[in-house]
């Protein structure tokens, strides 16, 4: 792979990004050209790597897959109803719980799955 190649491996890009970040964080004087030359990357590609750097994992902004039918706020609303009614809430069916929370046309299985995640993790609102 020569200096003019357009594609560089992820480890090479990460090495460049990590080196520059480290030197900047510790306020160590350096020339980016030296880092690009050491990693066998042209100045133009090295600059592009630094400017195109962005965090790939934005878990709170995930857009892949099917959208959730019940948001975490909806699940918390149903959980509050359980805590509000206490023992009497145990007599509610899953669909009864959804109706009490103001949600229509939800299957019992959808509600059970959403509430089961909260219940199995022990993430209750007290």
Domain-embedded: residue 66: no
Domain-embedded: residue 5: no
Give ∠ CA 35-37-38 in degrees, rounded to 5. 65
Tokens of 22: 């480290």
What was the pLDDT predicted at 94? 86
Cα end-to-end distance, the chain, whole Å: 59
How far is residue 62's CA from residue 56's CA, in Å, rounded to a whole number? Answer: 11
Number of domains in the chain: 2
Domain-embedded: residue 101: yes
> Does one domain contain both 78 and 45?
no
Q: 119: pLDDT confidence band, cut at 50, 70 and 90?
A: low
The range of the structural domain enclosing residue 31 comes to: 10-51
What was the pLDDT predicted at 40? 93
Tokens of 23: 């030197």
How far is residue 86's CA from residue 74's CA, in Å, rounded to a whole number? Answer: 18
> Does one domain contain both 79 and 117?
yes
pTM, whole model, 2 decimals?
0.44
How far is residue 109's CA from residue 122's CA, in Å, rounded to a whole number? Answer: 20
> Could you report the per-residue pLDDT of 52-95, keeping only the tens digit for each?
876 665 556 667 788 888 888 898 898 888 888 887 777 888 88
């Amino acid at each position: 792979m020569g200096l003019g190649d357009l594609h560089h491996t992820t480890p090479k890009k990460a090495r460049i990004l990590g080196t520059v970040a480290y030197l900047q964080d510790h306020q160590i004087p350096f020339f980016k050209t030296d880092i690009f030359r050491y990693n066998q990357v042209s100045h133009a590609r090295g600059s592009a790597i630094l400017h195109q750097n962005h965090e790939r994992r934005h878990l709170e902004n995930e857009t892949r897959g099917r959208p959730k039918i019940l948001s975490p706020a909806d699940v918390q609303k149903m959980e509050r109803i359980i805590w509000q009614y206490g023992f009497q809430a145990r007599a509610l069916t899953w669909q009864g719980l959804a109706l009490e929370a103001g949600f229509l046309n939800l299957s019992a299985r959808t509600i059970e799955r959403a509430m089961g995640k909260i219940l199995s993790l022990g993430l209750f609102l007290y």
